[in-house]
Amino acid sequence: MKKKIKVALIGNPNVGKTSVFNALTGLNHKIGNYPGITVDKKSGVAKLDDEVNATIIDLPGTYSINASSEDERIVLDLLFDPTNEDYPDVAIVVADIENLKRNLLLFTQVKELGFPTVLAINMADHMEEKGISIKIAELEKKLNTKIVLISAKKKLGIQELKQAVLDYKNFSIEPCLNATAVDTEFFSKLALTFSNLSVFKLWMIYSQDIKIGNIGKKEIEAKGIHLSENEIKKLQHKKTIKRYQFINDALKETYSRDVNKASDIRTKVDRILTHKVYGYLIFFFIMMLVFQAIFEWSSIPMDWIDEQFANLSTWVHEVMEPGKLTDLIADGIVPGIGGVMPFIPQIAILFMFISILEETGYMSRVVFLMDKLMRPFGLSGKSVVPLISGNACAIPAIMSARNIENPKERLITILVTPFTTCSARIPVYIIIIALVIPDTRIFGFLSIQGLTLTLFYLIGFLAALVSSWALSKYIKSERKSYFVIEMPNYRTPIIKNVVVNMYEKTKAFVVGAGKIIFVLSIIIWFLGAHGPGERFENAEQHITEVYQDKEVSEEELSEHIASYKLENSYIGILGKTIEPVIKPLGYDWKVGIAVLSSFVGREIFVGVLGTIYNVGSGDENDEDGRIKQKMAAEIWPDTGQPVFTLASGVSLMFFYAFAMQCTATVAIVRRETKSWKWTIYQLVFMTVLAYVAALIAYQLLK
Amino acid sequence: MQYKLNLNKVSTTLDLLKRNEKGVIADFDMHKVPLKLLEMGCLPGNAVELLEVAPLGDPIYLCINDTHLSIRKELAREIQVELVG
Ligand SMILES: Nc1nc2c(ncn2[C@@H]2O[C@H](COP(=O)(O)OP(=O)(O)O)[C@@H](O)[C@H]2O)c(=O)[nH]1
Ligand SMILES: [Mg+2]
């Protein structure tokens, strides 16, 4: 059997950890990113040589072992918990060659924890251009570590990195400096409390209030150690200064940078992107571009996928024996899944843009531009990242709020992020817009449908802002807020990173949504194809009698039978029961069922409607199984008016704009806030708001 | 980079720097500045330059000790700098 070791990638944000991870592991990733489970760390397998495989763990970026945000806390927790299944045998500290000084701070801490450590200095492809020279052998000696120069982008040094990791047993695990010298008296007292742990670990337990095994802050205090908050802080500051002194010394003779070569592209681009007019214009323009692209680029692949599922349904009817199973597959599962899959192109495009914006370094400029604007709403510039990512999916967005150090701002951001228009709303919006908004253009190029979509994105964003303003008045803040954010250099994105990210996120959506829809469409098909009592059983006989004297074609007759059956099926009865509640919003009971089942996830709405309408259409060899046509053809039985009108359509869109229709988000909010109270407040508030807004929209427009 | 301090040095606080003005961090009250900022290189003796001010006047965009970062003025106010000629 192959030997397996565990390797953690640790480093500052934006130094290329994920790129190194991708370069080491190819596409063998494991991420738990959807319903309920979340990505704290991404792991993958790298083949080091013929005998040894390594499980590589990509950790969130951190500037220091001293955690100041939830994200950094994850790194701290892992490195201090030997019982954790991901506890590494080897640490690779990834550093950016352009900012070695700051990157080495974290390195000295990781090394002091006693891990065999490799220092991977990344972005070596920039060396020449920036006039950087570095004496590896000497630096290795000073830092007492193995160093590998790499470029994740150009795939340089990856092999050497693997070789280095293989040799981990021979590494020195001694710290590279003695930081306890800042207060020898105190630290030697601390060292005596528990002699089985290193003094650095004891210090971290004490200052960060964490536990290793059963040793925590209390246990250390019980042994006579007492420092006030201020004294702890002072020591932390002193140690930081001490570390930087050591780093400066180490780099003095080994690292040099030609100041004249420092490029000024960054300065020029910054001037434009943070300009008081162009800055905002460009931001607005980019957002417009994203939304137009979602609509325009995806229409061809969408139609194509849609068609394939319709064909598939017909094909199943043709080749399989007629019977229950065939019906289940052709009328239940295929249309259910086929209702959601056409949205893959849109979701992929959205994730592509978000990943490019992050990779290039533009997101930080947005944070910089928006900070002051967000403050009156009780948010900070950092809330912009979750709010923008929320346009892809609320789950990673809510997790990205971990970067916000201030607890109040973080809580508010988490609570309002689900208002932003996540990709699961796209299926609902697109199909409703296509049905009720005319396909015309103004100025010859701006499509009204596209504008409507943009408008609903804005509505979501405004709802988030207004509610956070209200929340900020209500929630008390116990800690003073501060705002420190790095402005990374501009970089051309690595295509592989973008593709991997796009692929993973889209896959998570398809698998996550697909699983639920698969189960739901079976249930709904079953409930729709069966019913209690006589009326369902005798549908055929009953309808034939009713239409006995009237002239109806064979086809029409079977339609009538099918819809009578549906009405008297289990699902019909259930739908009729809730109809009084949803009728004021303009929905019939079929739409009601779809709204109700999409509590699990918004995207399910279309799939469920697909199943319901297919069960309800008597025609077995339905030529045109497209869901859109079916929705357009739906009428109210009593008035003969179409179900999907401007009024009911807009009402539906408002409902989906505000309602918390996603159990996975509820779960993640609970996890991230660690509070049922806030989770339930959020759920109730959003649902009530959605109902009221939909009600008003319908009553005004009808 | 070590800058030689001028004899007629001018002391001010970080939030009062103008665009492209350079200085050296002098001192600050450790209790008012988060550890994170220190860890990112904001330490006495390090060089600092103000690169941009956000359109609405806040936050500011700095280069400290080769690290580019952005902080709000309320925090910058706590940090003393000596201007470099
Ligand atoms: N030029 C260059 N850019 C790189 C290299 N490695 C990563 N990048 C870029 O650096 C940015 C941050 O990379 P990422 O892997 O997301 O960093 P992480 O935040 O540490 O995971 C991205 O824009 C990458 O394309 C490299 O070796 N050379
Ligand atoms: Mg990363």
Q: For the domain that residue B56 is a member of, what is the CATH number?
A: 2.30.30.90
* A3-170 carries CATH number 3.40.50.620: no
Is residue A15 annotated as involved in ligand binding? yes
B67 min Cα distance to partner chain A (Å): 7
When the pLDDT of each residue in chain A is averaged and rounded to a whole number, the result is: 85
Per-residue pLDDT for A34 more than 60?
no
Asked whether residue B74 is domain-assigned, the answer is yes
Asked whether residue B6 is domain-assigned, the answer is no
Per-residue pLDDT for A553 more than 80?
no
B28 min Cα distance to partner chain A (Å): 12
Give me the total of CB pairs closer than 8 Å, taking one residue from chain A and one from chain B.
Answer: 111
Asked whether residue B77 is domain-assigned, the answer is yes
H, E, C per residue of A149-191: ECECCCCECHHHHHHHHHCHHHCCCCCCCCHHHHHHHHHHHHH
Asked whether residue B1 is domain-assigned, the answer is no
Proportion of chain A above pLDDT 70, given as a percent = 94
Is residue A624 annotated as involved in ligand binding? no
Distance in angstroms (rounded) separating the CA atoms of residues A345 and A29: 22
Distance in angstroms (rounded) separating the CA atoms of residues A317 and A327: 8
From the alpha carbon of A150, which atom of ligand 1 is closest? 27
Asked whether residue B2 is domain-assigned, the answer is no
pLDDT band, residue A162 (cuts 50/70/90): very high
Q: How many CB atoms lie within 10 A of CB A531?
A: 20
* pLDDT value of position A93: 97
Q: What is the pLDDT of residues A609-660, one digit of tens each?
A: 887 887 666 554 444 447 788 888 888 888 888 999 999 999 999 999 999 9
What's the number of domains chain B is made of? 1
Site of tokens 């830092």: A143
Instruction: Name the most confidently modeled range: A68-77, A219-228, A338-347.
Output: A219-228
Of B55, B56, B61, the CB nearest to A487: B61
**Looking at beta carbons, which residues of chain B come within 8 Å of A66?**
35, 39
CA angle A351, A352, A356 (to 5 degrees): 115
* pLDDT value of position B1: 47
Asked whether residue B45 is domain-assigned, the answer is yes
Diameter over CA atoms, chain A: 105
Q: How many CB atoms lie within 10 A of CB A174?
A: 10
* pLDDT value of position A258: 81
Q: Who wins on pLDDT, A140 or A68? A: A140
Task: Summarize the confidence of residues A687-691 as an average pLDDT.
Answer: 95
Residue list, ligand 1 pocket, CB within 6 Å: A 11, 13-19, 61, 122-123, 125-126, 151-153, 359, 491, 493-494, 497
Q: A109 C-alpha vs ligand 1 centroid, how far in Å?
A: 23
Proportion of chain A above pLDDT 90, given as a percent = 33
Backbone angles phi, psi at A58, to 5 degrees: -95, 110
Q: What is the pLDDT of residues A52-107, one digit of tens each?
A: 999 999 888 899 998 877 778 888 888 998 888 889 999 999 999 988 999 999 99
Candidates A53, A50, A49, A25; CA nearest to A41 is A25
Candidates A21, A5, A6; CA nearest to A158 is A21
Candidates A7, A175, A2; CA nearest to A89 is A7
Per-residue pLDDT for A249 more than 70?
yes
Enclosing domain of residue B21: 11-84
Asked whether residue B44 is domain-assigned, the answer is yes
Residue type at position B41: G
Asked whether residue B56 is domain-assigned, the answer is yes
A202, A220 contact by CB (below 8 A): yes
